[in-house]
């Protein structure tokens, strides 16, 4: 059953910051914040799916004024318990359509969406709406940054549609892909110490770099940079992820 927080309710929020994923390592966070602070260039930043503040809080400590949009109240509650969160305003809602005030303090210099979260919008229509929503919030010359994986279809042998991405004695996780619709579902199986298992599933829609560029074009944005990651290494045919920067034209 999905609660009002979508797929990221209290059970997920409780353990979210304990992830062993590389995105939660201090060095990776610092590198991410370095790039975002530079792109903000002294202006305001809007984080879509701000979550527990993994990026927003250290970015705010750099002196960037950060505002967030987040569907999960449970995730925001976790952020609110951390030092510095009192200076970050958060609008509760779907980041594809939820708006924040730009009349009082002006538009944003930067909007960003990290950690594959664009794919949590599980339809092409919602992903297109996200780009248009961001464009409405950006000042001319402002940037929209997305960090997302490159679809892993080369890992799928002919006749199969499942890619496992985590295995351990305490659980495993795998993705089921539909290569016709670009729909996919991540399945997580967790084994407790008493041997009882729990399962949850999260739907998403994988999206290609060129498709994102077309969404940006529809929203009036143009590609400025695309890197293999936050280290700004060149994006190549062998890249498994990308950090892309689209810019709102000044005129």
Q: Give me the CATH code for the 10-151+207-247 domain, please.
A: 3.40.50.150
pLDDT of residue 3: 45
pLDDT of residue 167: 84
pLDDT of residue 144: 98
pLDDT of residue 169: 84
User: Per-residue pLDDT tens for 125-160?
Assistant: 999 999 999 999 999 999 999 999 999 898 888 888
Domain residue spans of the chain: 10-151+207-247, 153-202
| Long-range CB contact pairs, 61-67, < 8 A, 24+ | 62/33, 62/37, 63/37, 64/36, 64/37, 64/40, 64/110, 65/105, 67/91, 67/100, 67/108
Q: Residues in the chain with pLDDT < 70?
A: 1-22, 24
pLDDT of residue 6: 58
């Amino acid at each position: 059953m999905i609660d009002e927080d979508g797929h990221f309710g209290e059970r997920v929020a409780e353990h979210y910051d304990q992830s062993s994923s590389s995105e939660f390592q201090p060095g990776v966070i610092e590198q991410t914040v370095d790039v975002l602070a530079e792109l903000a260039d002294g202006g305001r930043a809007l984080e879509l799916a701000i979550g527990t503040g993994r990026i927003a809080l250290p970015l705010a400590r750099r002196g960037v004024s950060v505002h967030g949009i987040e569907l999960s109240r449970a995730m925001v509650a976790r952020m609110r318990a951390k030092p510095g969160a009192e200076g970050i305003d958060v609008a509760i809602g779907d980041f594809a359509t939820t708006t924040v005030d730009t009349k009082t303090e002006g538009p944003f210099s930067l909007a960003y969406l990290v950690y594959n979260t664009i794919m949590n919008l599980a339809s092409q229509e919602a992903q297109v709406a996200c780009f248009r929503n961001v464009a409405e919030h950006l000042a001319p010359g402002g940037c929209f940054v997305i960090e997302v994986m490159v679809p892993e279809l080369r890992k799928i042998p002919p006749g199969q549609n499942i890619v496992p991405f985590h295995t351990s004695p305490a659980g495993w996780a795998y993705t089921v892909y539909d290569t016709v619709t670009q729909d996919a579902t991540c399945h997580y199986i967790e084994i407790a110490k008493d041997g009882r298992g729990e399962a949850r599933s999260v739907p998403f829609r994988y999206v290609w770099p060129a498709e994102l560029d077309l969404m940006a074009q529809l929203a009036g944005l143009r590609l400025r940079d695309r890197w293999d990651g936050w280290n700004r290494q060149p994006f190549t045919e062998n890249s498994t992820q990308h950090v892309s920067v689209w810019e709102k034209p000044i005129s």
